[in-house]
Amino acid sequence: MSPDDPMRMLQVAACLFALAALGGVVMAAIRFSGKRNPPAWLAMLHGLLAGAGITLLAYAAWVDAVPSPALLALLLFLLAAGGGTVLSLAYKWKQRLLPSWLVITHALLAVVAFVLLLLAIFGAEG
């Protein structure tokens, strides 16, 4: 992958976000199935994959023009990452139960961002 191929970088970022989303679904299921938080290793893996996707998406936007939905997706992923950081540091780290409203908000931001990224990828190819 070279810096002159931003669309390929968007595709790889989408794969990273899809993997992160799988972990997110598992963590949400754990959280909402009872009064317990998901394991720390799963939260860290989820954050690592999402962070890699954000980094690649930002790099693609930096090196070349990307479709505007991809830029909006980057902004929303950054907001979702902020929510994930709060979930991790203000709640999980202190062994407090993750608040449902913040988990749902975090997920909704990420889902909307993911859909926008897919629109940017498939809209540009069509």
Domains of the chain: which residue ranges? Answer: 6-125
Residue 3 clears pLDDT 80, i.e. is over it? no
- Which three-class secondary structure state does DSSP give residue 80? helix
Helices 40-63 and 68-86 pack at an angle, to 10 degrees, of 150
Q: Is the pLDDT of residue 91 over 60?
A: yes
Cβ proximity of 49 and 23 under 8 Å: yes
Instruction: Give per-residue burial for 103-124: e unless 16+ CB within 10 Å, then b.
Output: beebbebbebbbebbbbbbeee
Task: Report the percent of the chain where pLDDT is more than 70.
Answer: 94
pTM equals 0.92
